[in-house]
Amino acid sequence: MYEYTQFYIDGQWVDPVTPNTVPVENPATEETIGHISLGTKADVDKAVAAARRAFESWQFSSRAERLDLMRSILAEIDKRKEDLARAVSDEMGAPMSLASGPHTGLLSGHLMTAIGILENFEFEKTNGNTTHLYEPIGVVGMITPWNWPLNQIACKVFPALATGNTMILKPSEIAPFDAAIFTEIMHAAGTPAGVYNMINGDGPGVGTAMSGHEDIDMISFTGSTRAGIAIAANAASTVKRVAQELGGKSPNIILDDASFARSVAKGTTGMMGNSGQTCTAPSRMFVPKARMEEAKVAAKEAAESVIPGDPKGNATIGPVVSKAQWDKIQGLIEKGIEEGATLVAGGPGKPEGLETGHYVKPTVFADVTNDMTIAREEIFGPVLCILGYEDLDDAVRIGNDTEYGLAAHIMGEDTEQAKELAKRIRAGRVAINGGYDMNASFGGYKKSGNGREWGVFGFHEFLEVKSVMVA
């Protein structure tokens, strides 16, 4: 049982101002696995005051001091990897292979990337008589989601720390225990009091207090577009910087070549990873209309190879994170059937033998048109939509016909052709044949957000620029 009913403020664990303990569920068993407290504006005020005090000195910390701290954090992460993986699996249902692999690996990966960047980052650049100073923005409020919890903590906390900011983290109340263990790591590593603070809570109680707080200089938020709009509106009166990574409905263009069936299969299983709960997931697959029937066969076989089940066993995917999420996904699957899409694999209801837990059948729809609800809305579950295109111009047109622009995917043998297509897609990152890079920028166009995370781009997000001019 996980019990984290205190908050981490000013270098110590403290009781909430107003006790409000709530249970946290394991989505695989539907049983309570622990408790947290939900904070209030009063708790936020305490954390902001601590972060503001700490900023007075941390903003002037040396590169060497920051590097020493970050290397100490890396060593502490290594000691707690098993604890982190177990927490992620318990709270969000990720199979242990995924939790102990990508989920925890991204935490260390982002930290090692940030250390490498900090070693050579230029905080001063002189051009003629003008010197540009890159200075920390101040106190940062961070609101992170439940779907890749450690990844999103890492790509906010580490660049903010490296650039001299102080911070308050509000993790998701649905999956909070990995963040509590991460906080223990930050404490064990010797993070100065007030530099890093953590409060549990929900959006109305803590998120709203943070986004509208006069003494928070920046909000970095990852979550739904709906919540992002509300946060930006609430932050507007304080004119703080708001960086957002929001929803996605990413196209995956399958090129018409000899690798077609293999690309369809890989795109299908890629969509199902993390139970489809990935904002960059290749959820809209585009195939030549003439090869739609071939795509159905390959996608059906691939989807049926994805085995949902106990995260502590050998399952490919676990449950989705909550009953509310399960209900939303089921409603959209029903909507796809109602609107005339062809159900190729999966469908409504739970997989056979998995009556307990929020499990979803790996589902594939084909003959989808881009005006259907399942092609427009972010499903955030293991549900793939296959759409047909006449030619590549048509594929690009349909791919860009969405309010989102977080990511896109292209799969096929002609990588030069894929690179040219990538230039025409309105999205923040394009992965060709699964390309991946920890230094690549991460962020979206349109309603997928603003600002960029990861690598050196994440550093600049937390910096102000000052010009010093000499006559």
Dihedral pair phi/psi, residue 440, rounded to 5°: -70, 145
- Specify whether 155 is catalytic: no
- Specify whether 385 is catalytic: no
Whether 147 and 194 have beta carbons less than 8 Å apart is answered as no
Q: Give the span between the Cα atoms of 26 and 22, in whole angstroms.
A: 14
> How many residues are listed for the chain in this entry?
471
Q: What is the 3-state secondary structure (H, E, C) of the chain?
A: CEEECCEEECCEEECCCCCCEEEEEECCCCEEEEEEECCCHHHHHHHHHHHHHHHHHHCCCCHHHHHHHHHHHHHHHHHCHHHHHHHHHHHHCCCHHHHHHHHHHHHHHHHHHHHHHHHHCCCEEEECCEEEEEEECCEEEEECCCCCHHHHHHHHHHHHHHCCCEEEEECCCCCCHHHHHHHHHHHHCCCCCCCEEECCCCHHHHHHHHHCCCCCCEEEEECCHHHHHHHHHHHHHHCCEEEEECCCCCEEEECCCCCHHHHHHHHHHHHHHHHHCCCCCCCEEEEEHHHHHHHHHHHHHHHHCCCECCCCCCCCECCCCCHHHHHHHHHHHHHHHHCCCEEEECCCCCCCCCCCCCCCCCEEEEEECCCCHHHHCCCCCCEEEEEEECCHHHHHHHHHCCCEECEEEEECCCHHHHHHHHCCCCCCEEEECCCCCCCCCECCEECCEECCECHHHHHHHCEEEEEEECC
Q: Give the span between the Cα atoms of 434 and 454, in whole angstroms.
A: 17
Half-sphere exposure of 249 (CA within 13 A, CB side): 22
Whether 444 and 455 have beta carbons less than 8 Å apart is answered as no
- Say which of 279, 378, 385, 461 is annotated catalytic: 279
Write the CB contacts of 394 (distance below 8 Å, at least 6 apart in sequence): none
Label residue 470 exposed, middle or buried (CB < 10 Å: 0-12, 13-18, 19+): exposed
Place of tokens 């969000």: 92
Q: Give the span between the Cα atoms of 56 and 74, in whole angstroms.
A: 25
- Say which of 245, 378, 453, 461 is annotated catalytic: 245
The catalytic residue positions are: 245, 279
